[in-house]
């Protein structure tokens, strides 16, 4: 099993309502693929953590790269994990109002990762060029 963190920039027409559709669709598909994770959308950018079987993640990443709702996708970290961090979330929307609250919420979720600050910095760099 692997875990992936990635960032991307939303296409200009994507809004908060679209994110709810993304979460709903992803939740149903991810359950079948045995993928779990969390997504946030703030300042026109996505930050997502996904985890599951390598083959399922490879398929999902290929699909995400073709998705016109975002661009400039960057995989921040990808590594093997022995257990899921988000076992109950086939896709959970991390609701935030601003970059700082997004950073703090992900900081809490990533507290066990030794390189959590590097992961978070990649997100901050994206939303604050």
Separation of alpha carbons 11 and 114, rounded Å: 32
User: What pLDDT, in 10s, does the model give residues 40-67?
Assistant: 888 888 989 999 999 999 999 999 999 9
Q: What is the pTM assigned to this prediction?
A: 0.84
Token couple for 82: 């022995």
Q: What is the mean pLDDT of residues 98-118?
A: 81
Enter the CATH code of domain 2-127. 3.30.70.100
Residue position matching structure tokens 């559709």 = 21
Task: Tell me what percent of the residues of the chain surpass a pLDDT of 90.
Answer: 36
Residue 118 has pLDDT above 60, yes or no: yes
Q: What are the domain boundaries of the chain?
A: 2-127
pLDDT range class, residue 129, cuts 50, 70, 90: low
Helix, strand, coil % in the chain, rounded to nearest 5? 40, 30, 30
């Amino acid at each position: 099993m692997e875990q992936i963190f990635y960032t991307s920039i939303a296409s200009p027409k994507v809004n908060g309502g679209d994110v709810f559709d993304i979460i709903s669709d992803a939740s149903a598909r991810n359950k079948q693929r045995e993928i779990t994770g969390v997504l946030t959308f703030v300042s026109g950018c996505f930050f997502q953590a996904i985890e599951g079987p390598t083959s399922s993640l490879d398929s999902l990443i290929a699909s995400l790269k073709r998705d016109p709702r975002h661009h400039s996708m960057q995989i921040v970290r990808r590594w093997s994990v022995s257990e899921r961090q988000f076992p109950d979330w086939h896709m959970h929307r991390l609701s935030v109002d601003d970059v700082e609250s997004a950073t703090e919420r992900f900081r809490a979720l990533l507290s066990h990762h030794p390189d959590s600050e590097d992961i978070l910095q990649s997100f901050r760099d994206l939303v604050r060029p």
